[in-house]
């Protein structure tokens, strides 16, 4: 059923649909009545993330690497392109795969959308802003990225993806949109994926010290996954080309986050300070004026509530 933030899609292809964000999107699209084809190579995602969807009418799972080329059984009217390693631990382990996915994979996904007459939406990232010299970041900021630093493989693949998406729209008239997602968290993150929220929760639930990098004063803004999914679907439905920031502007230091996780889990863990990764951004906060104004979208779940839900889920799975 369509509402102000959605539209009745008939058939959506979600690349990277077996990942953390993608699996929530697949479920939301099925709930809205769309048929969904999830295309994933399981390089960082898990079949288990979509196993509950396999019995639902209209859901198809295809194992394929988008960079190697892929086909779907019937043309979609929406293609959400999320395939890409996303956590630093993953893209540092898979640097060439990350670049191939962001470049060749994005080209393949754009070509499929164009052939099908589908709307295409690229899941880009706040990492296109790099280690920003402006805070908060709005969509007009060009970013501050080190192309030859360790994070360059991800940041530059996404920047290339944005340029390619724009070129496809200009050269071929493809109906494209770009969402720049900021740090998202929630159920189905992997405890070992290296991102702060699952790391702290895993450590707290295992009675280990929480490892905060640097002095912990660096900030992130954390968006609960249900809010991110609503934002992505709103941008898809609106038809805007973007880019548009989708994130929660409530900025939090990593030290405060560690204390909050400790409190909410009841773990009373110690905090250990460890070395900060190279080129780790000092601040990260979205300006969401555009999303609020054009999409009528804003996050609804505050960090305490989102962490409670996430911790609840982590308690139900093995976190080792
Ligand atoms: P994730 O690693 O859980 O999901 C990515 C999915 O893409 C995985 O299922 C993986 O197996 C799949 N994949 C990777 N390369 C592929 C390829 N070549 N072919 C087919 N499938 C491939 O990560 P996530 O956190 O769910 O992120 C999803 C998307 O959102 C990514 O594009 C990421 O860059 C973007 N994003 C996420 C965040 C966040 O905080 N989670 C923030 C900004 C942007």
Run of H or E residues at 122: strand 119-125
In sequence order, which residues have a C-beta less than 8 Å from that of residue 20 and are 6 or more positions away? 45, 49, 86, 184, 186, 188, 189, 190, 225
Residue 233: is its pLDDT beyond 90? yes
Question: Whose CA is closest to atom 1 on ligand 1?
Answer: 19
Pick the catalytic residue from 91, 129, 141, 154: 154
Residue 93 burial (CB count, 10 A): 14
User: What pLDDT, on a 0 to 100 scale, did the predictor assign at position 227?
Assistant: 98
CA distance linking residue 216 with residue 284, whole number of Å: 13
How sure is the predictor about 267, in pLDDT bands with cuts at 50, 70 and 90? confident
> Ligand 1 test: best mutation among 86, 107, 153, 194, most atoms within 8 Å of CB?
86
Distance CA 141, CA 96 (A): 27
Residue 260 in this model has a pLDDT that exceeds 90: yes
Tokens standing for residue 15: 């690349």
Task: Give this complex's ipTM.
Answer: 0.99
Residue 25 has pLDDT above 90, yes or no: yes
pLDDT digits (tens, 9 = 90+) for 52-75: 999 999 999 999 999 999 999 999
Helix, coil or strand: residue 45? coil
Q: What pLDDT sits at residue 4? A: 46
Residue 279's pLDDT is: 73
- Within a 13 Å sphere around the CA of 199, how many CA atoms are in the beta-carbon half? 17
Q: What CA–CA distance (Å, rounded) separates 134 from 140?
A: 11
Q: Kindly give the distance from the C-alpha atom of residue 83 to the centroid of ligand 1, in angstroms, as a whole number.
A: 5
Ligand 1 nearest-atom number relative to CA 65 = 19
Contact 22, 40 (CB under 8 A): yes
Q: Looking at residue 1, what is its pLDDT?
A: 40
Annotated catalytic residue 154: yes
**In the structure, which protein residues have their CB atom closer than 6 angstroms to any atom of ligand 1?**
15-16, 18-22, 39-45, 65-67, 82-86, 90, 101, 105, 123, 125, 181, 183-184
CA distance readout (Å), 308 to 154, 205, 250, 311, 318: 30, 13, 17, 5, 17
Q: Which residue, among 62, 63, 14, has the nearest Cα to 36 in the 3D structure?
A: 14
* Centroid of ligand 1 to alpha carbon of 204 (angstroms): 25
Which ligand 1 atom is nearest residue 94's CA? 15
Tokens of 48: 């288990």
Could you tell me what percent of the chain has a pLDDT over 70?
97
Q: What is the pLDDT of residue 319?
A: 46
Residue with tokens 């979609």: 76
Closest ligand 1 atom to 85 CA: 2
For residue 101, give the ligand 1 atom closest to its CA.
Answer: 18
pLDDT greater than 70 at residue 125: yes
For residues 68 and 278, what is the distance between their CA atoms, to the nearest angstrom?
31
Residue 5: pLDDT band with limits 50, 70, 90: low
Q: What is the pTM of this model?
A: 0.95
C-beta atoms surrounding 130 within 10 Å: 23
Which tens digits make up the pLDDT trace of 201-225? 999 999 999 999 999 999 889 999 9
224 and 181 in contact (C-beta within 8 Å)?
Answer: no
pLDDT of amino acid 244: 98
User: Can you list the pairs that 35-38 forms with residues at least 24 positions away whose Cβ atoms lie under 8 Å?
Assistant: 35/10, 35/11, 35/59, 35/60, 36/11, 36/12, 36/60, 37/11, 37/12, 37/13, 37/61, 37/62, 37/72, 37/73, 37/76, 38/14, 38/62
């Amino acid at each position: 059923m369509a509402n102000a933030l959605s539209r009745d899609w008939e058939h959506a292809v979600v690349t990277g649909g077996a990942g953390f964000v993608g699996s929530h999107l697949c479920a939301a699209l099925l709930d809205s009545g769309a048929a969904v084809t999830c295309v994933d190579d399981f390089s960082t995602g898990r079949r288990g993330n979509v196993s509950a969807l396999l019995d639902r009418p209209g859901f198809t799972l295809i194992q394929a690497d988008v960079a190697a080329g892929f086909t779907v059984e019937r043309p979609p009217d929406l293609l959400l392109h999320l395939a890409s390693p996303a956590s630093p631990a993953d893209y540092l382990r898979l640097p060439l795969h990350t670049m191939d996915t962001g470049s060749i994979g994005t080209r393949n996904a754009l070509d499929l959308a164009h052939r099908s007459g589908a709307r295409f939406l690229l899941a880009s990232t706040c990492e296109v802003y790099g280690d920003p010299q402006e805070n908060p970041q709005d969509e007009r900021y060009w970013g501050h990225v080190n192309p030859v630093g360790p994070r360059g493989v991800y940041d530059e693949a996404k920047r290339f993806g944005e340029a390619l998406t724009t070129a496809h729209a200009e050269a071929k008239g493809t109906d494209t949109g770009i969402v720049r997602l900021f740090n998202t968290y929630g159920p189905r993150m992997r405890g070992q994926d290296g991102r702060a929220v699952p790391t702290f929760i895993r450590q707290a639930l295992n009675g280990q010290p929480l490892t905060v990098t640097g002095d912990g004063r660096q900030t992130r803004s954390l968006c609960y996954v249900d809010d991110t999914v609503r934002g992505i679907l709103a941008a898809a439905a609106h038809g805007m080309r973007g880019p548009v920031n989708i994130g929660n502007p409530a900025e939090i230091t990593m030290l405060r986050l560690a204390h909050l996780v400790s409190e909410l889990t009841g773990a009373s863990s110690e905090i250990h300070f460890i070395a900060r990764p190279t080129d780790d951004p000092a601040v990260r906060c979205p300006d969401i004026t555009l999303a609020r104004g054009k999409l009528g979208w804003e996050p609804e779940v505050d960090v305490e509530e989102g962490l409670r839900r996430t911790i609840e889920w982590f308690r139900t799975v093995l976190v080792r």
